[in-house]
Amino acid sequence: MATKIAMATATTAVCISAMAAVSSELVANQDSTMAGVSTLEFGPISRMDAPSSRTLAMNSSLTLAGTTFVEVNATNGQCDRIQGLTNLAYGGNLVVSNLAGGDNPPTLGQTFQLFTVPATRSGNFSTITPALTAGKLWSFNPTSGVLNVVSGTATYPTNITSSLMGGNLSLTWPASHLGWVVQSNIRGLANPGNWFDIPGSSSVTNLNIVPTLTWTNVFYRLRAP
């Protein structure tokens, strides 16, 4: 049976059976403590859901699956944290919300201690979303329980946006894909060998191209570095 445990007071002690399967949500609205629990299994959703970052002390084993939501604050470096675990198994997806807002994104090298990791732990998150921009990536270290902001180039596909202005063709793509290479093709799509790299495109996220009027079919794409 699905169970929702809401932590709504500054200190809450929740005593349940030695093995508890929590299949909907765990919501921690303030700093909270769970006691008398042997093992908790969370899925599909586990949340630390509060207007500011909170700490949850569990004193038990924790298995994560499905989607885990956490909040961080890029301005003051605070974040949600789970501690007191005796055993920790990561899994599923990690979704990160920045309380500082879109105008204050996490900075390169910033770290957030999400878990105090016990001696016995396993697994990792399969994805971390939403993706960062400007050449930054999320990286989670399951050994330390730390979420890191690292430098890197996105590995997932994206779209090129095109526009015409003053007879020139403008191509733009997201800052997260700085380092990807723009290729052009004037011969046809059937042969993969018809694509050619545009020099210098890996160091920018936009190109202005003067069309050659004798080229009636010209194609552009991004390729991973």
For 54-83, write each residue's pLDDT tens digit. Answer: 778 777 788 888 888 888 999 999 998 888
Task: Tell me the average pLDDT across 185-192.
Answer: 90
3 state DSSP class of 131 = coil
Residue range 99-115, pLDDT digits in tens: 999 899 999 999 999 99
pLDDT of residue 52: 56
Indicate the domain borders of the chain: 4-151, 161-223
> Residue 118's pLDDT is what?
92
pTM: predicted TM-score of the whole model, two decimal places: 0.57
- Taking all residues of the chain, what is their mean pLDDT, rounded to a whole number? 77
Other Cβ atoms within 10 Å of 101 Cβ, number: 10
Strands across the sheet containing 196-197: 196-197, 181-185, 219-223
Q: Single out the residue of 152, 86, 95 nearest to residue 119, CA to CA.
A: 86
What sign for the dihedral angle of Cα 46, 51, 53, 55? negative
The reported pLDDT for the residue numbered 12 is 31
pLDDT tens string 131-169:
888 778 899 999 999 999 988 777 778 889 999 888 899
| Model confidence band, residue 184 (pLDDT cutoffs 50, 70, 90) | very high
